[in-house]
Amino acid sequence: MKKKLSRSGSGWALFMPKTLLELIDVNPETDFLEVKVENNIVKITKAEDVTKDK
């Protein structure tokens, strides 16, 4: 899947289709994502055990 970034304020956003979020079992209303960069590859996964206080 190829995606284009969209301008969002002073940064850029990656919009994810609902189907993709369902595949990784992410509820965008309540869940957090973890973003890592390894060897120029961006890895996005569902974050585990996240509290809003952190």
Q: How far apart are CA 21 and CA 13, in angstroms?
A: 15
Question: Does the pLDDT at position 2 exceed 70?
Answer: yes
**pLDDT tens string 7-52:** 999 999 999 999 999 998 999 999 999 999 999 999 999 998 766 5
Question: Phi, psi at residue 45, to the nearest 5°?
Answer: -135, 160
Residue type, 23: L
